[in-house]
Amino acid sequence: MALTDYFSGLQHVGIPASSLTEAETFWTKLGFKKIGDFPVGNVIFMQRQNLVIEAWTGDDIVGKPGAINHISLDVADAEAALVEAKKEGFNLIDHDIQHLPFWDKGIKFFNVQGPDGVIVEFCEIVK
């Protein structure tokens, strides 16, 4: 299999914020609703139809035009996807699976870096 066989599409876009309250207000005005609030990581998730925005505080890129930290692709098996990413020679930011306590059972993910510093996260929401 190839890495492309492990993801089904966009999971979310990661946009750092200076204030989660202001970010939530802004995205709400655009028709998004909050679907996740994780004080442990100072993170919120806002959704409108099939687009999810992840906002968090504490990133140096905040306030710069075009400040998108990463795009996240939805994977069913993060471990298998990481094996393929290694085989295919992607520029790995994470050489091991990372974990965060988001959603009911957490997430598993890893990041690769593309041209021009683009970060692509491969993220599995644990079921």
DSSP string, the chain: --GGGGEEEEEEEEEE-S-HHHHHHHHHHTT-EEEEEETTTTEEEEEETTEEEEEES--TTTTSTT---EEEEEES-HHHHHHHHHHTT--BS-SS-EEE--TTT-EEEEEEE-GGG-EEEEEEE--
Query: Where residue 113 falls among pLDDT bands split at 50, 70, 90?
Result: very high
Query: Where residue 41 falls among pLDDT bands split at 50, 70, 90?
Result: confident
Supply the pLDDT for residue 69: 92
Supply the pLDDT for residue 60: 87
| pTM score, whole prediction | 0.88
- Over the stretch 6-30, which tens digit does the pLDDT of each residue have? 999 999 999 999 999 999 999 999 9
As a whole number, mean pLDDT of residues 107-122 equals 93
- Over the stretch 46-98, which tens digit does the pLDDT of each residue have? 999 999 999 999 888 888 888 899 999 999 999 999 999 999 999 999 999 99
